[in-house]
Structure 1
């Protein structure tokens, strides 16, 4: 406690004040002692210094001389001992001016434990947070611009197509009723795609903007995913796929919003059907985070190595894996797969009805739940791994 108190700015200043006062008193006493010696051993006043001293004493008085000399000595010693404080004040002032001028990378070098050191660290922390806020603001502006650009591009394409076919119909540029019907069907399909894009965009802005409240409750993942697979059975059969759900034992109850969680799993299963049809099967695994993926040895043979046992919060996570065996995703596309409007194959995505927002919505929903999602792809399989808190 005493050491901490002595490290404060006030005590350091008082210490320098006391040292300056003591040094002044010592020097004044030394001057007085030397003057006494000079007057005692040079009574004839033959030394010029003796005559000057006697004249000053007679003209001014010894007390004013001692006070003037003592004050000058005290001020000189005090400012000399406090010069480090003045330098630190100058450093803080310069740092604030640098930051005010926009140089947020400037840092004040001061490792002391007193109040000035605390002020310096606070200024440095302020500059760091301002830099982060500035970066986030720039990123938000860039994201907004990218969103507007992406929306404009993706809205323009179907809208142009719709207007083109409607113009054909308006100008009677069709040969017969069959061609007219074909134009109407194409325009209708494009309008549906446009509506889906608008719906996805609206949902993405709600989820990513944090304006969607979560209605969480315990969700048993085993029957939840089993029912999902049953509902998608017609689409799976149409694509020539079988869906195998591998439930966890014991069951895992994820704390999630059932409606939003269904949106996540529907999107991942739809993607597996669209892009994994050549693989013949879709596997869905439910397991604790970092647990063994499947009891089936044949499936384990093509499974990626399991991560090391988790620590901390990861142990309280459930893991849901959607695995398909279709065409792999090129490695260069994996880092951007969850970006909005990003498509691995733009033409194929539009043909299959993809808006480019599905995986961005999935990631936003998972993040909103405090979970995580990742993707990996190889020649054998593509996996989307969703981790959710229990």
Structure 2
């Protein structure tokens, strides 16, 4: 009977009961549920790793829960979801509950991850001095002013993960995201934004679900780890989702978090878009990460795949028999990443035809049915490009209509 009191994860959820309650009784039932949830919260013993509160009640009660979760329970990961009335699925953004919290309410040192869903945010004072937050998710929300979001993100100076699913009122402000620690950025904006400026020197993953700006030059990205063909990407950015991923040997826990975020689908969206990856193809661990990333697209449509080969002169790993393990990397005859993966067009940048692993990797895309239309190779010279394409064309094509070419 008392084991639950010591569990590190607590979920308080009104929605399951409200979904079965007539709308006319929601206020009465919500008040009763809030009282019950309050008693349950107070009975819990020990600290919390995570706490999810899905509710419909007044702001004063919510403030008390937030303070109890942070100041008393030292919760690390807090999720707040406001329950709205029933509406058709076509209503993606339903942030009609005003979020008006006191200054610094989210600034407790124990709180490192915060997720808010179903609110209208008028100001950013609740996020004052929130350098404690490493993860911030603002989902299914309305923010009147773009400048408010800029100030919120600036106040959360230690963010490593930002996930935004927002609608703005008409506003001519520039959205600025400047963070030296940011590694993962995911964005979906319902309305047009005049200009977006992202300055994140440590950014490894950029996931654009739906962004609309005034013109092609209105999205400015400063991030050395993110590589992509900007002219082609910008031209499609405002119509198709896009992901840029710097493949590296990240900790498994971090990769799992990013995997869940990339796989999450916002209501009403479909995964059909472009992917850019930077990878050392001679590194077996990075190849395995790339395989995981591509498999995530197996049930969606990939229009463009850009592969940027890293220049890596690090010594190769050797097996016990003295052979370099990387030389056997592409001996496996199984399709990469699997037999079901398809992409319309592939662009490979900085390919070194004398590098056996890179050429073997390109050969896979020719011999498999992976690429539907074109495979383009960037080479350092015209002669090298012609020679590389000739060698690839000698291979048996998995797709007879595949076109192979080079550029520089």
Relative to the length of structure 1, the TM-score reads 0.19
Q: TM-score, normalised by structure 2?
A: 0.19
Higher helix share: 1
